[in-house]
Structure 1
Amino acid sequence: MDLRDYLRVLRTRWVLIAACALVTIAIAALITVRATPQYASSARMFVSTQGSTDDAQANQGGQFSLQRVKSYADLLTGQEIARRVVEDLKLDESPSALASQISASSKLDTVILTITVTDPDPARARMLADGVAKVFVAYVAELETPPGKDEATIKATVVDPASKASSPISPQPVRNIGLGLILGLLLGAGAAVLRETLDTTIKSSRQLEELVPAPILGAISYDSAAVDTPLITSLDTYAPRAESFRVLRTNLQFIDPDAHHKVFVVTSSLPGEGKTTTAANLALALAEGGEKVVLVEGDLRRPKVAEYLRLESSVGLTTVLIGKLVLEDAIQSTASEGLAVLTSGSTPPNPAELLKSSSMAAVIASLREAYDIVLIDAPPLLPVTDGALLAAQADGALLVVRHGKTTTDQVTLAVERLEAVGAAPVGVIFNMTPAKSRDGYGYGYGYGYAPEPSTSRNDPNADTVI
């Protein structure tokens, strides 16, 4: 994935990213609300040497104090200081619990030592800070008094007693929510990229070009009204979906342009990819363009063509294959001039045997002679072998791939099924693409380009077009 791919993922998966951000913000807000406020009180001490009257000795004493301050900061958070404070103040808590409340720090190259104690009670935090400072002053004097001497070489002096805190140092709502937002955005972006990486469905023309050794003839944009109006004859002349099939019709003419009679199988990898409506609408578009077309309902298991075109389904292909009716009598005309349909007929118990029979080959040969283009609506390739058998007897297969549903593995297996019987896809139809292309290949935009409404020349409110 390059940078553009990452930006596309963030743009298309923004709902997931926003959901992760909202969840982490909610968790941060809940933690903030339920957290016990903590108050901090600090006392400052000055560490110095004693008995330094000479300048050189004073300088050495200062360096010695600097070295000692670093050790003192570590001692303040230890168990011994906490134990002495507990005993001195007669506290109920354990030394280890008190030690976790104490922190110490010193500024670089200074002998100033700062003690900070946190507690839910600001008054108690102040009392503990003063208690720690008092105990530590005595502890330093004890540590730094040489054996046999009465005076310590280094002493700690409290210069700023602890003060009562007016506001808690934690929780910090703004900081917590801000961190929750940043964490949520990072988690959301990571989840979006991971989901995109694991998602193997076809979402771009570039993926199809890498999987199928055939050109993309066109893309049919998604139309929510297609469930109620599956055929383009029910749409406005300039509807985007109708225009998509005209583009498909034009591109189909470039496949084997020298041949005058062509046979194509329209199939897909799995059911539900829109192969039947694609076949029916492509046949209508070809007939509209002046071609003499016959649409054969080769899906003998789940026939739908007769239902869409409102034709008789009891007599058709199976009737001809078993010799009960001649081909010419089984073909039905439609309201569209130039389009004839051979429906499936009665559903047989052995569809594959009928489709690979010599009778089926004879039907295809007769239709090839009589029509400019023969379109066969075949079953999907992966569940059954019917589609591959029909493709082997045709000039090639038009593979319908549904955007966002068909996976790369399914397309690969479908191509392998075709190649196994000596057939091959001659074109790909990208179905149900978004209204706006996501990969910049120019497919599936669904803009439409209808004439502008006419206005009267005498209408003073009419816009002037230059």
Structure 2
Amino acid sequence: MKKKTDRKQLVAFNDPNSPVSEQFKTIRAGIDFSSIDSTFKTILITSPEAGSGKSTISANLAIVYAQQGKKTLLIDADLRKPTIHKTFSKNLYTGLSAVLTDEISLEESYQPTEVENLFVLTSGAIPPNPNEMLSSKKMSSVLEELQQQFDLIIIDTSPITIVSDALVLAPQSDGVILVTRFGSSLKERTKQAAEQIRMTRAPIIGAVLNGVTEKKSNYYYYAYK
């Protein structure tokens, strides 16, 4: 029996006309306006620390792009604390780490969702060497191949100031979005995260600030100039 996607955090799917869903569409529009001179094919999403809500942002942003008609792939490249398989009720093990170790083919790895045009590539089993796997030539070739098959790829990665996984993936993306949480993300930690991203020469598309008010679904997007 097919499991249904019924997660509260997937508000863009469960309630596409809600004010919260409109916020994600606003974020999507902000990204699109940022790419006037070039098309963002691969977007990496990270945060200064854990608990920012980056995976929720990644999932809902992928949904609104798919709803726009783009064939979208959401990759869970957080090989330390993956969540995408739970969010979409998908198989964890037929995922990224299995592809990188040649256990399965790339075509076998990404899974369709109940959202039309949206596919997910789960993390696969948690490996002992996440950073080495993500910085491998195999990972580069996997991304290159996926870019030929999808209109847009969104990569959810580990917090950038805690481990260096996002740093090795950033140069392979067209841009980075930094997710922070009001009242939790320290100013110095956020500044450190932005500086680390800039060192990779990957452009920072913008940032999403969560929890601006007590209302549950307040997301604020701003673009870097």
Q: Is the 8 A contact 1:319 1:345 kept in 2?
A: yes
Secondary structure, counterpart of 1:241 in structure 2: helix
Deviation of 1:326 (Å): 1.2
Question: Given the alignment of the two structures, is residue 343 of structure 1 paired with residue 122 of structure 2, yes or no?
Answer: yes
Deviations 1:316-364 (A, max 9, x none): 0001111111111111000001001110001000000000000100111
Which residue identity does 2:51 align to in structure 1? G
Unaligned runs of 5+ in 2: 1-6, 221-225
Q: Is the 8 A contact 2:40 2:175 kept in 1?
A: no
2:165 and 2:15 map into 1 onto residues whose CA distance is 35
State the match for 1:316 in structure 2.
Answer: 95
1:316 and 1:357 map into 2 onto residues whose CA distance is 16
1:275-354 alignment runs, 5 A limit = 275-354=54-133
Which residue identity does 1:276 align to in structure 2? S
| Distance 1:264-1:237 versus aligned 2 partners, 3 A rule | closer
Instruction: Give TM-score scaled by structure 2 length.
Output: 0.88
Q: Is the 8 A contact 2:95 2:109 kept in 1?
A: yes
Deviations 1:382-429 (A, max 9, x none): 110001111121111110011121121011100121122332321111
State the match for 2:178 in structure 1.
Answer: 399
Instruction: Give TM-score scaled by structure 1 length.
Output: 0.44
Deviation of 1:236 (Å): 2.9
Q: Is the 8 A contact 2:43 2:173 kept in 1?
A: yes
Superposed CA RMSD in Å reads 1.9
Q: Is the 8 A contact 2:85 2:92 kept in 1?
A: yes
State the match for 2:23 in structure 1.
Answer: 244
Q: Is the 8 A contact 2:24 2:60 kept in 1?
A: yes
Question: Given the alignment of the two structures, is residue 231 of structure 1 paired with residue 14 of structure 2, yes or no?
Answer: no
State the match for 2:169 in structure 1.
Answer: 390
State the match for 2:137 in structure 1.
Answer: 358
Which residue identity does 2:203 align to in structure 1? A
Select the structure that is richer in helix. Answer: 1
Deviation of 1:256 (Å): 2.2
State the match for 1:209 in structure 2.
Answer: none
Match of residue 272, structure 1, among 48, 51, 74: 51
Question: Given the alignment of the two structures, is residue 419 of structure 1 paired with residue 198 of structure 2, yes or no?
Answer: yes
1:372 and 1:261 map into 2 onto residues whose CA distance is 9
Secondary structure, counterpart of 1:324 in structure 2: coil
1:188-203 alignment runs, 5 A limit = none
1:372 and 1:284 map into 2 onto residues whose CA distance is 13
Match of residue 373, structure 1, among 152, 172, 177: 152
State the match for 1:126 in structure 2.
Answer: none
| Distance 1:259-1:292 versus aligned 2 partners, 3 A rule | farther
Q: Which moved more, 1:391-400 or 1:229-238?
A: 229-238
2:184 and 2:72 map into 1 onto residues whose CA distance is 30
Q: Is the 8 A contact 2:40 2:174 kept in 1?
A: no
Q: Is the 8 A contact 1:260 1:372 kept in 2?
A: no
User: Higher relative contact order by CA 8 Å / sep ≥ 6: 1 or 2?
Assistant: 2
Deviation of 1:238 (Å): 2.7
Question: Given the alignment of the two structures, is residue 257 of structure 1 paired with residue 36 of structure 2, yes or no?
Answer: yes
Unaligned runs of 5+ in 1: 1-227, 437-442, 445-466
Q: Is the 8 A contact 1:317 1:330 kept in 2?
A: yes
1:428 and 1:353 map into 2 onto residues whose CA distance is 27
| Distance 1:339-1:418 versus aligned 2 partners, 3 A rule | same
Structure showing greater radius of gyration is: 1
1:335 and 1:328 map into 2 onto residues whose CA distance is 19
